Chains A and B, each alone.
Chain A
Amino acid sequence: MSQLLRSYTTVVWVVLVLLTGFSWWLGHSSASIQYSKGPQLATVFMFLVALFKVRLVGLNFMELKHAPLPLRLLFELWGAGVCIAIVCLYWFNAA
């Protein structure tokens, strides 16, 4: 059991949990940022963090790191596509 726990997967899980806490904090504190575009920039950053988390789960937990390249590519395209679509639709309408 301890050998299983002392694995790279556990490090990935800790990073994912810490990033979730960071996103939660960013969501709560972004309204108080003095810079006029602060909340918008914080929102964009939240989705970049979400994309990073999606990739961590996909590559490590879903084992796509060792999957055939087309399968990994489709997953990466989904993550990038969703992130770009959300950020662009948000930013250009909020600006």
Chain B
Amino acid sequence: MNARVIEAKPVSTRHIPGELGLWIFVLGDMLVFGLFFSVFVFYRAQNPELFMQSQATLNSNYGALNTIFLLTSSWLVVLGINAARKNLNGLAFKLLLLAMLCGAGFISVKVIEYSEKIHAGIGLTTNDFYMFYFILTGLHFFHVLIGMVALAVLCVIARRGISKPSDLAILEGGASYWHMVDVLWIVLFPLLYLMK
């Protein structure tokens, strides 16, 4: 059965990773974030000094570290899905668990960063920059939490092994969602921490 599931997807055939419905959600989510990114740059242009001063109080090392965490997590998810497709269930499970650990690393860094800001008396209402900072990173953080739940489900499926086509669709769909979280952070990093 497992072999037949794998054989059912020749590499040369164009294939939607996961379900089409999930991709409508993923692209819709990305569109909303894209609009937020544009609104941020528009408001930044109205008061560049304030945005630059506020940005200087952020620790870009945290932003870079979190980018590495998400990129590494995404890479491990790809390796995990490939292992699951080859019915290497134990290996797939371990790789996806490591991906979750990287996700936990991202969450830890973000919690440290938020707590530092809150202890310094900085919040959502401090100024326009911080309003955007907390809304954009907060929305992204929420997506990371959902992604962690998705990764936990992928771990369970990977450990059990792919027994039906819907298992593969769930694995691919969950992975695509997690990569979307990565893609959004790739833009958020220069937007909030680096641009001059």
Q: Which residues of A are interface residues toward B (Cβ below 8 A)?
A: 1, 4-5, 7, 9-10, 12-13, 16-17, 20-21, 23-24, 26-28, 30-31, 39-40, 42-43, 46-47, 49-50, 53-54, 57-58, 60-64, 66-69, 71, 74-75, 78, 81-82, 85-86, 89-90, 93-94
Known contacts: A4-B79, A43-B195, A85-B41. The answer to whether A57 contacts B182 by CB under 8 A is: yes
B176 touches A23 (CB 8 A): no
Report the Cα distance A34→B31, complex, angstroms.
37
B41 touches A90 (CB 8 A): yes
B182 touches A82 (CB 8 A): no
Q: Which of A27, A75, A93 has the most CB of B within 10 A?
A: A27
Main secondary structure of the interface of A (DSSP, over half): helix
Chain A proximity of B167: nearest CB distance (Å):
17
Q: Which residues of B are interface residues toward A (Cβ below 8 A)?
A: 11, 13-17, 23, 27, 30-31, 34, 37-38, 41-42, 44-45, 48, 60-61, 63-64, 67-68, 71-72, 74-75, 77-79, 82-83, 91, 172, 175-176, 179-180, 182-183, 186-187, 189-191, 193-196
Which A residues are CB-close (under 8 A) to B179?
57-58, 61-62
A86 touches B38 (CB 8 A): yes
Which A residues are CB-close (under 8 A) to B75?
9-10, 12-13, 16, 61
Which B residues are CB-close (under 8 A) to A23?
189-190, 194
A71 touches B23 (CB 8 A): yes
Report the Cα distance A21→B61, complex, angstroms.
10
Which B residues are CB-close (under 8 A) to A66?
11, 13-15
Report the Cα distance A93→B41, complex, angstroms.
9
User: Which 8 A-B pairs have CB atoms at the shortest separation, nearest pair first?
Assistant: A93-B45, A27-B194, A39-B196, A13-B75, A89-B41, A46-B190, A85-B38, A82-B34
Cβ-neighbour of A86 out of B17, B72, B191 (below 8 A): B191
Chain A proximity of B55: nearest CB distance (Å):
10
Chain A proximity of B83: nearest CB distance (Å):
6
Which B residues are CB-close (under 8 A) to A10?
75
A13 touches B71 (CB 8 A): yes
